[in-house]
């Protein structure tokens, strides 16, 4: 079973700061997902990646398959970025359910 570790668990930063959230996993995967969960429960998929780097607006996700590690970066952070960010992995049999990290609770203060 894949073990997914995220760090930090909690992060408070000032508006405008560059944010990095890290994720590592123990077993080979077909893809890694970054998800965002706002208060109230709704979860949105931000990225799915199996190699390299993806960018969407101020969000950047990278993955290093050899090191079994991924990072999510937020540039020019804003209070509306405050949320829980969750890393999840798809097993090698890609259509199975995800295995999740415990999440990083991010607060961006004005």
Partner 1 sequence: DVKVTQSSRYLVKRTGEKVFLECVQDMDHENMFWYRQDPGLGLRLIYFSYDVKMKEKGDIPEGYSVSREKKERFSLILESASTNQTSMYLCASSLFAGGQNIQYFGAGTRLSVL
Which residues are at the interface with partner 1 (CB under 8 A)?
1, 30-31, 33, 35, 40-45, 48, 50, 86, 88, 90, 94-103
DSSP string, 8-51: -SEEEEETT--EEEEEEESS--SEEEEEEE-TTS-EEEEEEESS
The answer to whether 106 and 13 are in contact (CB under 8 A) is yes
Judged by beta carbon, residue 77 or residue 90, the one nearer partner 1 is 90
Query: Smallest gap, in angstroms, from Cβ of residue 4 to partner 1?
Result: 8
**Shortest Cβ distance from residue 9 to partner 1 (Å)?**
10
Distance CA 23, CA 48 (A): 14
Q: Between 14 and 26, whose beta carbon lies closer to partner 1?
A: 26
Q: How far is the CB of 17 from partner 1 (least distance, A)?
A: 25
């Amino acid at each position: 079973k894949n073990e997914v570790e995220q760090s930090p668990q909690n992060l408070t930063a000032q508006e405008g700061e560059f944010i990095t959230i890290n994720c590592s996993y123990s077993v080979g995967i077909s893809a890694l997902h970054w998800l965002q969960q706002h208060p109230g429960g709704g979860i949105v998929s931000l990225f799915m990646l199996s190699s390299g780097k993806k960018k969407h607006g101020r969000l950047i996700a990278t993955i290093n398959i050899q090191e079994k590690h991924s990072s999510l970066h937020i540039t020019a952070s804003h209070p509306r970025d405050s949320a829980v960010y969750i890393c999840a992995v798809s097993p090698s049999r890609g259509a199975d359910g995800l295995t999740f990290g415990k999440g990083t609770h991010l607060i961006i203060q004005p």
